Structure 1
């Protein structure tokens, strides 16, 4: 079974165009990416409020958009669009997804994904940082 890690975008970004893996600058994003790599998945992608599913090497412009400010219908449409993007890279039924993403980024995707793992579920940001640091130093 394939394994894909999905990391949510963050508000802290570089001020200029960059590869997706470099654009997001928060400690949480950097630790999520570092941890994702230790899982040796078949792919790591970013869930972007503006761009949908991003390949780490994809060059994008900085933006100010978040799922936190979207209406329910906008967030549902975003999830439908992302799900179509995911179907373009793998078989949803034959892939295990590891979500390193907040509730808003998972909420409308999870009903369509049978094999999902959420290692940091229920942890606040500070707790996520602690857990990621613990897992990375273990």
Structure 2
């Protein structure tokens, strides 16, 4: 059976103290993405962090302020190459199914390297994503 991996992008709203990745990000969008991700019964769920790359949900970390949204293209490409290396240590880019619950900046330089990628909320603005996620997890 194909390995199924869900990727959720980090968000700016975080707890003010050290916490597990699953708890550190406190925005409604992140919480709904996590709830939806769990409903897909994946093998693994990871956070795509602008600072840390591929993060396990149980990993403890300090709050940080970093986003791909204001990074230069060269830096985003470097970030993506690091994340691809991290992907290869947990799954096959040719075999596994990667489900992206992440914005375009977080997917753009990863998708061309992944054979089986799904972007269920593609093309939806944040408000539309929130509504779709509420419907999917109701």
Aligned to 1:119: 120
Give the Cα–Cα distance (whole angstroms) in 2 for the partners of residues 30 and 136 of structure 1: 11
CA deviation string 1:33-53 (max 9, x = no partner): 000000000000000000000
CA displacement at 1:91 relative to structure 2: 1.1
The SS at the match of 2:47 is strand
Deviation string 1:12-46 (CA, Å, 9 cap, x unpaired) is: 00011100000000000000000000000000000
Q: Where in structure 1 do 4 or more consecutive aligned residues deviate above 6 Å?
A: none
* Equivalent position of 2:102 in the other structure: 101
Partners of 2:10 and 2:50 within 8 A in 1: yes
Say what the alpha-carbon RMSD is for the aligned residues.
0.4
Name the counterpart of 1:73.
74
Q: What TM-score, normalized to structure 2? A: 0.98
- Residue-pair matches, total: 137
| Distance in 1 separating the partners of 2:42 and 2:122 | 19
Q: Runs of 5+ in structure 1 lacking a partner?
A: none
2:20, 2:60 within 8 Å by CA — same for their partners in 1?
A: yes
Q: Which runs of 5+ in 2 are unaligned?
A: none
